[in-house]
Chains A and B, each alone.
Chain A
Amino acid sequence: GAVVSQHPSRVICKSGTSVKIECRSLDFQATTMFWYRQFPKQSLMLMATSNEGSKATYEQGVEKDKFLINHASLTLSTLTVTSAHPEDSSFYICSARDPRSGELFFGEGSRLTVL
């Protein structure tokens, strides 16, 4: 089946630094990818929709300047957490929709810990 790859799976950084997370669709081209944030024992909260070749669409309450999204190709979207702070520590998950079936597939997630 379709595979969405996310990297890195774990990252620890110091407060004030920036961290980039990559999301790749391996079996299909995805014009749209989604970025979620998940807190312990809570569901996935959609942060933004990443559109290939255009600006991302952010959900209400998500800081555009803090969570930079780039969807430079049909198989790659990146999320950059800028000037990270401890409250940004979370599990970030990307997903991509397979245009052949309409199904949504998820990456393995990236656990960010900001010290």
Chain B
Amino acid sequence: QKEVEQDPGPLSVPEGAIVSLNCTYSNSAFQYFMWYRQYSRKGPELLMYTYSSGNKEDGRFTAQVDKSSKYISLFIRDSQPSDSATYLCAMRDSGGYQKVTFGTGTKLQVIP
């Protein structure tokens, strides 16, 4: 079993839809949770960064963390064609090594 599981998609939605992207994980030591957006042939770009459980909102993006269920989500409201990319969840513990573990990424396509 992988430490982090993420549905690879692809996920195709019409413009304006609400998108839900999810990851599950098995390591209860993970404390920090991130979502990255990666356009084709580019490096990942940090979207959201959260600590422990709860919600965090930034514009059209909302990140949720449920540590009891070991489940994290990223919601995108009013999705735009420019949101078409691969979204990677990532997480790490609070240890000194601070190794980050990534999901495989979900490819999202927003159709105009």
Q: Is the CB of B49 within 8 A of A44?
A: no
CA distance A104 to B90 in the complex (A): 10
Categorize the interface residue count of chain A: 20 to 34
**Nearest CB of A to B49, in Å:** 6
* Chain B interface, >50% SS class: loop
Q: Is the CB of A109 within 8 A of B8?
A: no
Q: Is the CB of A104 within 8 A of B34?
A: yes
Q: Is the CB of B100 within 8 A of A93?
A: no
Given A42-B104, A104-B34, do A93 and B41 touch, yes or no (CB 8 Å)?
A: no
**Nearest CB of A to B39, in Å:** 10
Q: Is the CB of B41 within 8 A of A46?
A: no
Q: Is the CB of A106 within 8 A of B44?
A: yes
Interface centre among A6, A95, A97 (most CB of B within 10 A): A95
CA distance A101 to B32 in the complex (A): 12
Q: Is the CB of A46 within 8 A of B100?
A: yes
Contact check: which of A42, A97, A108, A109 meets B98 at CB < 8 Å?
A: A97
Residues of B within 8 A of A111 (CB): 41
Categorize the interface residue count of chain B: 20 to 34
| Any A CB within 8 A of the CB of B29 | no
Residue of B nearest to A92 (CB): B43
Q: Is the CB of B43 within 8 A of A6?
A: yes
Residues of A within 8 A of B25 (CB): none
B25-68 contact mask (Cβ, 8 Å, vs A): 1 or 0 = 00000001010100001111110010000000000000000000
Given A43-B103, A43-B104, A46-B99, do A106 and B43 touch, yes or no (CB 8 Å)?
A: yes
**Nearest CB of B to A60, in Å:** 12
| Any B CB within 8 A of the CB of A28 | no
Residue of B nearest to A36 (CB): B102
CA distance A95 to B92 in the complex (A): 15
What residues make up the interface of B, taking CB atoms closer than 8 Å to A?
A: 6, 8, 32, 34, 36, 41-46, 49, 88, 90, 97-100, 102-105
For this complex, 5 residue pairs linking A to B, each with C-beta atoms less than 8 Å apart, are A44-B88, A46-B100, A49-B97, A106-B36, A108-B42
